[in-house]
Amino acid sequence: MNALVTGGTRGIGLACCRLFSAKGYRVTALWSRDEAAARAAQAELPEVEFVRADVADEGAVARVLSRFDRLDVLVNNAGVSLYAQVQDTSMEQFSRVMGVNAGGAFLTVKHAVRKMLSHGGAIVNVSSVWGVSGGSCESVYSASKGALIAFTKALARELAPSGITVNCVAPGVIDTAMNGRLNAEERSALSGEIPLGRFGTPEEVAEAVYFLATARYITGQTLGVDGGFC
């Protein structure tokens, strides 16, 4: 069984690599920028193949997928964030966030589906709680993650006849580098808004991803992993 995880060197992506590998999958993980994180991930998980590829570059995505005779699971986790008020956001920033978060998912699905059509498979997109509810000063990020939810619903209908399930997870506030900008006071205040009273862990999100990847009668759904936040 083969699994491809984008954004696989840190946080949720790395947790997915650990879990799917432990479950017996041959895992390939994509990364694009942080070479130090990629080296550390490769040292921890020598059985996983870490490949440098920008998911917003169709040529790079096509080259990676050409390596596979078949693909069983695709986890679209690669993403970039942007914290800015809309009036201070440039078109270049908008295009980058949408290009990676939504466009990258589109490109990986486009080329991965060809490796699933003969036998079926599972696609899990990693959205965000902000894709469901919207986040102040994160309008572009929220829009990109909301697009992933709509993409999931449409793809589920389109690919169901081929035996391919398509689902989505919407993590809440997770203890990852993406939330590293928060100071202790901000973390405490944000934790107080979460009914379960704490940030989630990457491993908890990975468990939800694995559940959806192996659930054969669930498709088109978005599963919140947010401690009751949304």
Checking if the pLDDT of 183 tops 90, the result is: no
Report pLDDT digits (tens) over 92-116.
999 999 999 999 999 999 999 999 9
Please give the Cα distance from 92 to 162 (Å, whole number).
Answer: 37
Report pLDDT digits (tens) over 13-66.
999 999 999 999 999 999 998 999 999 999 999 999 999 999 999 999 999 999
In a domain, 105, yes or no: yes
91 touches 137 (CB < 8 A): no
In a domain, 145, yes or no: yes
Give the pLDDT of residue 205: 98
DSSP class of 23: T
Find the helix or strand (DSSP H, E) in which 157 lies: helix 139-159
Supply the CATH number for residue 202's domain. 3.40.50.720
In a domain, 124, yes or no: yes
Q: What is the pTM for the complete model shown?
A: 0.95
Q: Which domain holds residue 212?
A: 2-225
Q: What is the dihedral of CA 215, 6, 3, 120, to 10 degrees?
A: 60
In a domain, 230, yes or no: no
Residues with catalytic function: 141
The total number of structural domains that make up the chain: 1
147 touches 98 (CB < 8 A): yes
Checking if the pLDDT of 190 tops 90, the result is: no
Please give the Cα distance from 68 to 63 (Å, whole number).
Answer: 10
In a domain, 148, yes or no: yes
Checking if the pLDDT of 230 tops 80, the result is: no
In a domain, 52, yes or no: yes
Single-letter code of the amino acid located at 133 = S
Single-letter code of the amino acid located at 47 = E
